[in-house]
Structure 1
Amino acid sequence: MKAIDIKNLNQEEVKAKLAEKKIEYAKLKMSHKISPIENPIQLRELRKTIARLATALK
């Protein structure tokens, strides 16, 4: 999710997306610990997206 896309969302949508992405990150991280995922770069991208959403809330 790009910063431009996040700017177009209102505050409630950003909060909902942030909660959704945090859950998705936790699931992906757990599945990566059990058996390595095919593309570990997904973890990094999700972390960056979560950071962008959290920054947009400030």
Structure 2
Amino acid sequence: MKIAEIREIATNELAERIEAEVANYNQMVLNHSISPLDNPAQIKKLRRTIARMKAELRQRELNK
């Protein structure tokens, strides 16, 4: 997900989306430890997306 798309999301929805993505990330890491994923680069991509979302949420908190 690109930063422009993240900026369009409402603040409360962004917080919910972060929680969902973190849960998805944790599940993906657990599944990868049991049996390798077809594309382990998905983990890296998801981790970066979560970081972008958290950065945008923090920026909104600071601008209030």
TM range, smaller chain: over 0.9
Q: Indicate the structure (1 or 2) with the bigger Cα radius of gyration.
A: 2
Residues 3-41 of structure 1 deviation map (CA, whole Å, 9 limit, x = unaligned) = 010000111011011001000000000000000000000
- What's the % identity of the aligned pairs? 33
TM-score by length of 1: 0.97
Aligned residues: 58
Gapped regions of structure 1 (runs ≥ 5): none
Give the root-mean-square deviation of aligned CA atoms: 0.5
TM-score by length of 2: 0.88
Gapped regions of structure 2 (runs ≥ 5): 59-64
Runs of 4+ in 1 over 6 A off after TM superposition: none
